[in-house]
Amino acid sequence: MKKTLFLLSLIGVFIFSAVALGRVGGGDVLFAPEKAKEVIFTHDNHVGSIGLKCTDCHDALYNTKEKHKKVTMAQMQKGQSCGSCHNGKRAFDMKGNCDNCHKK
């Protein structure tokens, strides 16, 4: 009985470890606007480093990659998509910080 309980506990630890140490988020997402430098959104930074949950953005702010909708700066300035957090209160403000997201 003790052996069985120990083995079940050990299996549980291995399963939990595999899930907990698995890859965070959905990788990088490339946004290539027509008139500006591209933006590479990193899930690892937002989910792994900052600690956001997937449901903080999906499906409220963003759809899945398969249901992607175009995002504009005008929408963001109205508090949609990235602008929901990047408003100078929750995260750095988009205004005047272009190079934080738009890389060469």
From first CA to last CA, the distance across the chain in angstroms is: 62
Q: What pLDDT, in 10s, does the model give residues 25-51?
A: 578 888 888 788 889 888 888 888 888
pLDDT at residue 96 greater than cutoff 70: yes
Q: What pLDDT, in 10s, does the model give residues 55-84?
A: 888 876 766 666 667 778 898 899 888 898
**What pTM value is reported for the model?**
0.65
- Contact between 29 and 40 (Cβ < 8 Å): yes
pLDDT at residue 101 greater than cutoff 60: yes
Residue 86 buriedness (CB in 10 A; 0-12 / 13-18 / 19+): buried
Tell me the fold of 23-64+71-101: Cytochrome C3 (3.90.10)
Distance (Å, rounded) from C-alpha 82 to C-alpha 56?
A: 12
